[in-house]
Amino acid sequence: MNVGSIELRHLRSFVVLGDALHFSRAARVLRVAQPALSQQIRRLEDELGFRLFDRTSRRVELTPAGVSFLDHVRRLFTELDRAVETGQHLASGKTGTITVGYVATAMVNVLPTIVRRFRERHPDVRLLLRELSSVPQIEALRKGELDVAIVSGMPDEKGIASFEVWRDPLVALVPPLHPASLRRSVPVSALAADPFILFPRSQTPHLYDQIVSIFRKNGIEPTFGQEAQSWHMIAELVAAGMGVSVVPASVRRYRVPRVRYVALRPAHSVSMMMCHSRADVSQVAKFFLRIAKEPI
């Protein structure tokens, strides 16, 4: 028997007749003519290779095989209805999973608000967060491992769409006894004599180049000292007297003691960008991106 040849409407007719055990009543429920219902049941029995009903002039009864088959078909339709409902919810974005990558500073400014709003509006969606630097995020986005990425600086990547969600001022980060620590704002030349601490360029090239270019446009070549993998570690190295740095202002929320944050003159800032694939955006991701475009 080829199960694929069995029509769902014949199975539904069988279930209704199995409940009613009366052809006329079942035909009225199904809104079909009684001869058409009888033909559907005969065709189903032919396809199955066994009788579902014993018919007499006075009554209709399920055969033992029909009783068993009715139980299985009911469960089949329950699972089918559940599958349709799940599919509808996934297609509409009511359920599903979204994986969001983010740079560390996003967690101390824009991301908590976006996450809170998303969870309030889409409580049945599973939200996964992954902290990564900018380059690994773009790579994960290309591989489909992330649905959305929040990176520092404007990514110049084919197939990746982006928009700004936050603009963070860049500030000088100095130890408390540094001459710049007592001033409200300083030019980058005030940092020229000190070892400069920054993350590896491979981690976030756009932001790295932006910070270094601030110095070079003023005729200064930074003297690089230590490298650190995180803003928090950069702040700790500055606090230990290992040098100075230029960081997003939101780094101050890490509350590292024994450091000072001083505005740069003229002012500079870094854009925090929300990125996603141009080719394949799930409905859940579209909801997340829409919320990210709302005023923070």
- Is residue 3 pLDDT above 80, yes or no? no
AA identity, residue 252: R
pTM over 0.75: no
- pLDDT tens digits, one per residue of 45-76: 999 999 999 988 778 999 999 999 999 999 99
AA identity, residue 13: S
Residue in the block written with tokens 């070079």: 216
User: Domain 97-296 belongs to what architecture?
Assistant: 3-Layer(aba) Sandwich (3.40)
Q: Could you give the residue range(s) of every CATH 1.10.10.10 domain in the chain?
A: 3-92
- The mean per-residue pLDDT over the stretch 209-230 comes to 94
- pLDDT tens digits, one per residue of 6-28: 889 999 999 999 988 999 999 99
SS (H, E, C) the chain: CCHHHCCHHHHHHHHHHHHHCCHHHHHHHHCCCHHHHHHHHHHHHHHHCCCCEEECCCCEEECHHHHHHHHHHHHHHHHHHHHHHHHHHHHHCCCEEEEEEECHHHHHCCHHHHHHHHHHHCCCEEEEEEECCHHHHHHHHHHCCCCEEEEECCCCCCCEEEEEEEEEEEEEEECCCCHHHHCCEECHHHHCCCEEEECCCCCCHHHHHHHHHHHHCCCCCCEEEEECCCHHHHHHHHHCCCCEEEEEHHHHHHCCCCCEEEEECCCCEEEEEEEEECCCCCHHHHHHHHHHCCCC
Q: What is the pLDDT of residue 153?
A: 84
Q: Could you give the residue range(s) of every CATH 3.40.190.290 domain in the chain?
A: 97-296
Q: What is the pLDDT of residue 85?
A: 76
Q: What is the pLDDT of residue 243?
A: 97
Q: What is the pLDDT of residue 1?
A: 57
Q: 2: pLDDT confidence band, cut at 50, 70 and 90?
A: low
Domain 3-92 has CATH 3.40.50.2000: no
- The mean per-residue pLDDT over the stretch 199-227 comes to 94
Residue with the bigger pLDDT between 85 and 63: it is 63
Q: What is the pLDDT of residue 33?
A: 93
Q: 98: pLDDT confidence band, cut at 50, 70 and 90?
A: very high
- pLDDT tens digits, one per residue of 245-286: 999 999 998 899 999 999 999 999 999 999 999 888 999 999
Q: 170: pLDDT confidence band, cut at 50, 70 and 90?
A: very high
Other CB atoms closer than 10 Å to residue 235's CB: what's the count? 24
When the pLDDT of each residue in the chain is averaged and rounded to a whole number, the result is 92
Report how far residue 5's alpha carbon sits from residue 257's, in angstroms, rounded to the nearest whole number.
Answer: 74
